[in-house]
């Protein structure tokens, strides 16, 4: 514990309070949990775009499946039920262009964050081992390395490791596509080069792909499939998943963050090692959640509906962010705008807070992110509209709160 960083979100408290004061003394009520629509009039107060937590309802088909499975007196299967693992394999074929996922190489997890945090430990990594991850990245990759006693190594290219041998290469290399916070998408050729390099040096590659269904690239760039490329794509792997893991979550595409519904898939031998540790540790997805997850994977309609919601919010917010003077970088997929004013992220954060808008500073995501802020699309339609209007009014020199 002495080697873990402070929890970064605690440092946002003063900015949150600053944003709450926008338009005082009037203030708008914060949205209820799960609300899709908020009040139509902007009476001031906080628009929280700092955390990527879904606000739209969990699909009814998923709620019904959870309810139907609520009588669950026995222990669930750590490996997941055979039909759930088959459903994951079918989903990969239908949505990701990966027709060869072995159900034996699928394992449900209690959300994806816990797997990211514990994977180095589960794989037996420790002092002297290196865990690599992108220079601008979700902080849990770094935390997972530290929990294992391994060495975290931020790197954006395999050349960052210099000349390596099997003994000096990182033991685990994290990829994140679409990236959080950047929204950057790694193409098939890039993924294939990384996988080939990793196999030459005995490196395990784990790819965090939980935003894959939220791909904003033009259709002609999406390789016939509606999602971003996977590390398990046969064009990447050459037909073998050896040494490869894909980590995935239904939190974003299906509004299941509260269910903690995720999975890891790939090399059956690696998944088998993870499974054995999880059996001993009692890390098992609850039976009702397994049933809910099965229903979600079988219903692409709600995914398309949710994608359309985020696309509409993005279409409202991005032009206003750019009009305000922030350059949006990458952001080709996912739930965020990765934006920069060419200044320290905390300065930008303060200016946004003065408009009642709370974002996340790029400094949370590594030294390379210090000049950016991450602005989430995860607010109801009304509040996204308020944020866009406040940004436009700030540019036009009009302060205050929109009146009816």
SS3 for the chain, per residue? Answer: CCCCCCCHHHHHHHHHHHHHCCCCCCCCCCCCCCCCCCCCCCCCCCEECCCCCCCCCCCHHHHHHHHHCCCCCCCCCCCCCHHHHHHHHHHHHHHCCCCCCCHHHEEEEECCHHHHHHHHHHCCCCCCCEEEECCCCCCHHHHHHHHHCCEEEECCCHHHHCCCCCCCCCCEEEEECCCCCCCCCCCHHHHHHHHHHHHHCCCEEEEECCCCCCECCCHHHCCCCCCCCCCCCHHHHCCCCCCEEEEEECHHHHCCHHHCEEEEEECHHHHHHHHHHHHHHCCCCCHHHHHHHHHHHCCHHHHHHHHHHHHHHHHHHHHHHHHCCCEEECCCECCEEEEECCCCHHHHHHHHHCCCEECEEHHHHCHHHCCEEEEECCCCHHHHHHHHHHHHHHHHCCCCCCCC
For residue 304, give the nearest of 95, 85, 92 by alpha carbon.
Answer: 95
Greater pLDDT, 372 or 218: 372
Asked whether the beta carbons of 107 and 278 are under 8 A apart, the reply is yes
Write the pLDDT tens digit of every residue in 345-380: 999 999 999 999 999 999 999 999 999 999 999 999
- Looking at residue 31, what is its pLDDT? 44
CATH architecture of 8-58+302-396: Alpha-Beta Complex (3.90)
Residues in the chain: 404
pTM: 0.90
Please, where in the chain does CATH 3.40.640.10 lie? 60-298
Q: What's the CA gap between 298 and 366, in Å, rounded?
A: 37
Task: Give the CATH fold of the 60-298 domain.
Answer: 3.40.640
If you average pLDDT over every residue of the chain, what do you get?
91
Q: What is the mean pLDDT of residues 85-110?
A: 96
Report residue 43's pLDDT band, with 50, 70 and 90 as the boundaries. confident
The residue to which tokens 């998944």 are assigned: 271
Q: What's the CA gap between 215 and 230, in Å, rounded?
A: 13
Write the pLDDT tens digit of every residue in 274-323: 999 999 999 999 999 999 999 999 999 999 999 999 999 999 999 999 99
- Looking at residue 92, what is its pLDDT? 97
The residue to which tokens 């390789």 are assigned: 223
> Percentage of the chain surpassing pLDDT 90?
83
Q: What's the CA gap between 212 and 153, in Å, rounded?
A: 25
- Looking at residue 178, what is its pLDDT? 96
Pairing of strands 336-340, 327-329: antiparallel
Please, where in the chain does CATH 3.90.1150.10 lie? 8-58+302-396
The residue to which tokens 């209007």 are assigned: 389
Asked whether the beta carbons of 56 and 296 are under 8 A apart, the reply is no
- Looking at residue 9, what is its pLDDT? 72
Report residue 162's pLDDT band, with 50, 70 and 90 as the boundaries. confident
Report residue 3's pLDDT band, with 50, 70 and 90 as the boundaries. low
What are 84's two structure tokens? 């759930």
């Amino acid at each position: 514990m002495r080697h873990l960083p402070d929890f970064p979100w605690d440092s946002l408290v003063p900015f949150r309070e600053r944003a709450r004061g926008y338009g005082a003394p009037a203030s708008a009520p914060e949205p209820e949990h799960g609300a899709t629509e908020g009040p139509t009039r902007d009476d001031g107060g906080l628009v929280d775009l700092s955390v990527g937590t879904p606000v739209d309802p969990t699909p009814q088909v998923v709620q019904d499946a959870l309810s139907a499975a609520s009588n669950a007196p026995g222990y669930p299967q750590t490996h997941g039920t055979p039909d759930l693992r088959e459903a994951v394999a079918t989903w990969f074929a239908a949505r990701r262009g990966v027709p060869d996922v072995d159900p034996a190489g699928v394992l449900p997890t209690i959300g994806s964050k816990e797997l990211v945090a514990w994977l180095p430990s589960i794989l037996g990594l420790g002092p002297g081992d290196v865990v690599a991850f992108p220079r601008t990245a979700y902080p849990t990759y770094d935390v997972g390395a530290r929990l294992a006693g391994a060495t975290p190594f931020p790197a954006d290219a395999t050349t960052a490791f210099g000349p390596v041998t099997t003994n000096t290469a990182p033991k685990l290399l994290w990829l994140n596509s679409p990236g959080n916070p950047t929204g950057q998408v790694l193409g098939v050729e890039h993924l294939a080069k990384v996988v080939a390099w990793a196999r030459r040096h005995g490196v395990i590659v784990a790819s965090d792909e939980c935003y894959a269904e939220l791909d904003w690239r033009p259709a002609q760039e999406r390789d016939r499939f509606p999602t971003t490329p996977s590390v398990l794509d046969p064009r990447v792997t050459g037909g073998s998943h050896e040494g490869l893991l894909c980590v995935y979550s239904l939190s974003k595409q299906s509004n299941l963050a509260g269910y903690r519904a995720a999975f890891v898939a790939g090399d059956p031998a690696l998944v088998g090692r993870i499974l054995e540790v999880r059996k001993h540790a009692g890390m098992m997805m609850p039976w009702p959640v397994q049933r809910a997850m099965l229903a979600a994977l079988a219903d692409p309609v709600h995914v398309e509906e949710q994608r359309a919601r985020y696309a509409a919010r993005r279409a409202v917010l991005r032009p206003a962010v750019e009009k305000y003077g922030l350059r949006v970088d990458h952001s080709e997929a996912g739930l965020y705008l990765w934006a920069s004013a060419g200044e320290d992220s905390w300065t930008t954060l303060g200016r946004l807070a003065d408009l009642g808008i709370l974002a996340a500073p790029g400094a949370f995501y590594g030294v390379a992110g210090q000049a950016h802020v991450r602005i989430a699309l995860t607010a109801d339609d009304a509040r996204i509209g308020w944020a866009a209007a406040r940004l436009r009014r700030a540019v036009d020199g009009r302060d205050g709160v929109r009146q009816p």
